Amino acid sequence: MLDKRHLLNYSILLPYLILSVLGLIIVYSTTSASLIQLGLNPFRSVINQGIFWIISLLAILFIYRLKLDFLKNSSVLTVVMLVEVVLLIIARFWAREVNGAHGWIVLGPISFQPAEYLKIIMVWFLAYTFERRQQSIEIYDYQALTKRKWWPKRMSDLKDWRFYSLILILLVAAQPDLGNATIIVMTAIVLYSISGVGYRWFSALLTLTITISTVFLGLISIIGVKTVSKIPIFGYVAKRFSAFFNPFKDVTDSGHQLVHSYYAMSNGGWFGRGLGNSIEKRGYLPEAQTDFVFSIVIEELGFIGASLILALVFFLILRILLVGIKAKNPFNAMIALGVGGMMLMQVFVNIGGISGLIPSTGVTFPFLSQGGNSLLVLSVAIGFVLNIDANEKREEIYREVAEAERDPNDVFVEDMEYGRYYE
């Protein structure tokens, strides 16, 4: 059997490594000044991020060596999803509140955010579900995915994807974590659209999503943010909507972050103030190391430097999408396209939030923001794609060898699952 070590996709691995190292540098740049002011080790945050990166590299190595049949095991997926549900419930009802949300579970020095892990779990779950219905989708189109009742007969039955998806998304939204909930919904739309259903359904879903979002924002504008803030779980979220409509109306409170994000980007100009020379990170822009980190990147490296980093991120996403486009196996294709779509949505939500194009949702920028959970989830996703790409390459080599060696008088049949030819 051909060793997968020789099939590693360096056009994905190298950008990942570069972005991860850049992330460590930027985490140090955005956190060292505040840590020094507090009398703490200036390398504290970057050391924590570095530990998560080492764990992430080990996770990639482990996942890359897995057989893909492991990912298609319904028992494994069921256990993972049930554990995720339990963690989301614990995070919502028993974890302490952090910045107006209950999404973090803290165990001594270790803290993790279950909603982050749900992003890759949802990609895995939907790819598994839709891949099993490919023949039905070819015949019945979208009805193959919607003809069942919403409520399953038993909790271990993973057939009704809508029920489980809705439960998980609602648990994330109830944190409240509208940022990750938005990314998960948009990723689910991408996976549904590439599952084999008619292309017109993607247009319909996209139009419906834009319409609902527009109507929702319009209603909040008409009703008023103060009225919305009276809803218990949306009090903190209402401030973000207030900043979205007019950040300069309340510069000292709801609009503080967005206004200083504008200042940071304006300070950067074309070439930036230089790495480590940001003004806004010195107590003016809260959470400068997490969801507003790209504002600091623009301030320090300028529009040109930030554009180069953004181009590298888009190159990585494009290479991931190409793996999915070229894949012969539907499961492999949907995993890769789902991962690429998830990362693209995360970049869109983050950039849209710091620029005021959409309400700020607290979503981190991939690889650059401080956050070990985010880095680990992205690394696991990269591991999935690298494994899939290597397996697709290996199967393609087997097909080519079989084709070259076959006798024209022999009869071969194609195995639709593995793509190999047998005599």
- Per-residue pLDDT tens for 265-311? 888 888 888 888 888 888 777 777 888 899 899 999 999 999 999 99
Q: Which of 417, 419, 384 is nearest to 65 (CA)?
A: 384
Q: How are beta strands 421-422 and 105-107 bridged, if at all?
A: unpaired
The DSSP secondary-structure symbol of 205 reads H
pLDDT for residue 387:
93
| Residue numbers of the domain that contains 175 | 68-223
Contact 268, 354 (CB under 8 A): no
Backbone angles phi, psi at 414, to 5 degrees: -100, 130
The Cα-based distances of 60 to 13, 64, 251, 366 in angstroms read 10, 6, 43, 16
DSSP state of 358: S
Q: In the beta sheet, which residues pair with residue 105?
A: 112
**Same-domain check for residues 43 and 76:** no
Q: Do 295 and 362 have their domain in common?
A: yes
Same domain, 363 and 418: yes
Better pLDDT: 121 or 398: 121
Largest CA distance in the chain: 81
State yes or no: pLDDT of 384 exceeds 80. yes
Whether residue 34 is found in the same domain as residue 116 = no
List, for residues 71-110, the tens digit of each pLDDT value: 888 888 889 989 999 998 988 887 777 666 677 787 776 7
Last residue of a domain, which of 201, 223, 245? Answer: 223
Residues 414 and 290 in one domain: yes
Residues in the chain: 423
Query: Can you give the pLDDT at residue 244?
Result: 63
Distance CA 177, CA 368 (A): 20
Q: Which of 277, 319, 312, 326 is nearest to 297 (CA)?
A: 277
pLDDT at 157 over 60: no
Tell me, yes or no, whether 404 lies in a domain.
yes
Final residue belonging to a domain, choices 199, 223, 247:
223
Rounded to whole angstroms, the Cα distance separating 363 from 369 reads 9
pLDDT, tens digit (0-9, with 9 covering 90-100), for 170-184: 888 888 788 888 899
Q: Are 420 and 341 in a shared domain?
A: yes
Of 41, 100, 127, 42, residue with least CA distance to 333: 127
The first and second tokens of residue 147, run together, are 């003809």
- Paired with 271 in beta bridges are none
Between CA 5 and CA 65 the distance in angstroms is 9
Question: Per the domain annotation, does 159 fall within a domain?
Answer: yes
Residues 42 and 185 in one domain: no
Tell me the two tokens of residue 169: 């998304």
Q: What are phi and psi of 290, to 5 degrees?
A: -115, -100
Provide the residue type at 237 as one letter: V
CA distance 175 to 382: 27
* CA-wise closest residue to 130 among 416, 417, 335, 322: 335
Burial classification of residue 152, based on how many CB atoms lie within 10 Å of its CB (0-12 exposed, 13-18 middle, 19 or more buried): middle
Q: At 383, phi and psi to the nearest 5?
A: -60, -40
pLDDT at position 115 over 50: yes
Rounded Cα distance between 250 and 341, Å, is: 35
Q: 3-class SS at 111?
A: strand
Do 102 and 77 lie in one domain? The reply is yes
Considering the chain, what is the average pLDDT of its residues?
A: 81
- Is residue 400 domain-resident? yes
**What are the b/e assignments for 254-286, b being 16+ CB within 10 Å?**
bbbbbbbbbbbbebbeeebbeeeebbbbeeebe
* Residue 182 shares a structural domain with residue 209: yes
Rounded CA gap, 247 and 255, in Å?
Answer: 4
- Does residue 93 lie in a domain region? yes
Per the domain annotation, does 250 fall within a domain?
no
CB 294 within 8 A of CB 351: yes
Q: What is the mean pLDDT of residues 2-6?
A: 72
Domain annotation covers residue 233: no
Q: Tens of pLDDT along 30-76?
A: 888 888 888 888 888 899 999 999 999 999 999 998 888 888 888 88
CA dist., res. 75 & res. 69, Å (int): 12
Q: Are residues 206 and 132 in the same domain?
A: yes
Round to whole Å and give the CA distance between 162 and 156.
14
Count of domains observed in the chain:
2
- 72 with 30, same domain: the answer is no
pLDDT exceeds cutoff 70 at 334: yes
Question: Is 48 contained in some domain?
Answer: yes
Residue 181 covered by a domain: yes
Q: Please name every residue paired with 257 in a beta bridge, in sequence order, or none if there are none.
A: none
Within this chain, do residues 275 and 395 fall inside the same structural domain, yes or no?
yes
Tokens of 378: 């992205």
Q: Do residues 383 and 63 make contact, with C-beta atoms less than 8 angstroms apart?
A: yes
